Amino acid sequence: MPAEIYLNVAVSGLLTGLVYGLMALGLSVIFGIVRVVNFAHGEMMTIAMYVAIMLFATFGLDPLVMLVPVAALLFALGYLMQVALINPFINRPEHSQFMLLIAVAIIMVNVLLIVFGPDARNVQTSYAFDSFQIGPLIVDATKVYAAAAALVVAAVLFAFFQFTLTGKAIRACADNYTGALVVGLDVKHLYALTFGLGAACVGAAGVMLLLIFDVTPGSRPSSSSRSRRSRRCTRARSRARAPART
């Protein structure tokens, strides 16, 4: 088999992986700061994809244009979820948090099934079948655009945590929960902002993945992978747990 085929497959996988990396970045931000595993992360991505489909069907908006408004909508959803559902469970045992978020995920996917049905949907952009050729390398334009957008969003998130006062306050909460309370930080508000940022990342990733894949209400991690992830995250949380909360 020609080496060009392997090269094309590798580059295509790398570009798609950058979008999945943005999705994982949102999950990592939530777990690293709030110490809660968001088992509804995949379902929130699916919601973002369906929102993008509705906007495309209604207004003809390109997914690249919808990235910011859909991410903002998912930020609001994540913020409300943290304030209304997760903050009351912050000091409860891990299995209670897992059960809560798995229940939220099940509700989300079934609501999507009721509203949109089980059929796959997608968007057809004017550049859906375009590609770039660099010597023997042929790359889909949609994957290039999606990967570039994912890198931009990741860079913006890094800059937010590194250079803004709010970002530094969120990092302080992750480093020392008790110390953050002592100096007067509104930790629950900062946790809600963090969950919103993680949801915004997965919303942006969902919009970009819509350029590459079709979407169904079941476009999320399987229940078996959830179980394995639950066990891994329980062990990780016991090792990386913040100082005891009062």
DSSP secondary structure letters along 107-167: HHHHHHHHHH-SS-B----TTTT-EEEETTEEEEHHHHHHHHHHHHHHHHHHHHHHHSHHH
Q: How many domains does the chain have?
A: 1
Is 239 a member of any domain?
Answer: no
- Integer distance in angstroms from the first to the last C-alpha of the chain? 62
Is-contact 170 161, C-beta < 8 A? yes
What tens-digit pLDDT sequence spans the chain (246 residues)?
578 889 999 999 999 999 999 999 999 999 999 989 999 999 999 999 999 999 999 999 999 999 999 999 999 999 999 999 999 988 888 889 999 999 999 999 999 999 999 999 989 898 988 999 988 889 999 999 999 999 999 999 999 999 999 999 999 999 998 899 999 999 999 999 999 999 999 999 999 999 998 999 987 543 333 334 444 444 544 554 445 444
pTM of this prediction? 0.85
Q: Determine the pLDDT at residue 239.
A: 52
Burial readout 104-133 (b: 16 or more C-beta within 10 A, e: otherwise)? bbeebbeebeeebeeeebebebeeeeeeee
Is 236 a member of any domain?
Answer: no
Which residue range is the domain that position 176 belongs to? 3-231
Q: Determine the pLDDT at residue 135.
A: 84
The label of the residue with tokens 């003809």 reads: 60
Is 237 a member of any domain?
Answer: no
The pair of structure tokens assigned to 69 is 């408004």
Is 156 a member of any domain?
Answer: yes
| CA distance linking residue 152 with residue 64, whole number of Å | 12
Is-contact 96 39, C-beta < 8 A? no
Q: Determine the pLDDT at residue 218.
A: 80
Q: Determine the pLDDT at residue 134.
A: 87
| CA distance linking residue 97 with residue 81, whole number of Å | 13
Report which DSSP code applies to 215: B
The amino acid occupying position 9 is V
Is 32 a member of any domain?
Answer: yes
| CA distance linking residue 246 with residue 68, whole number of Å | 37
Report which DSSP code applies to 241: P
Q: Determine the pLDDT at residue 65.
A: 92
| CA distance linking residue 171 with residue 160, whole number of Å | 11
| CA distance linking residue 44 with residue 64, whole number of Å | 18
| CA distance linking residue 5 with residue 187, whole number of Å | 51
Q: List, in sequence order, every residue forming a beta bridge with 215; answer none if it has no partner.
A: 121
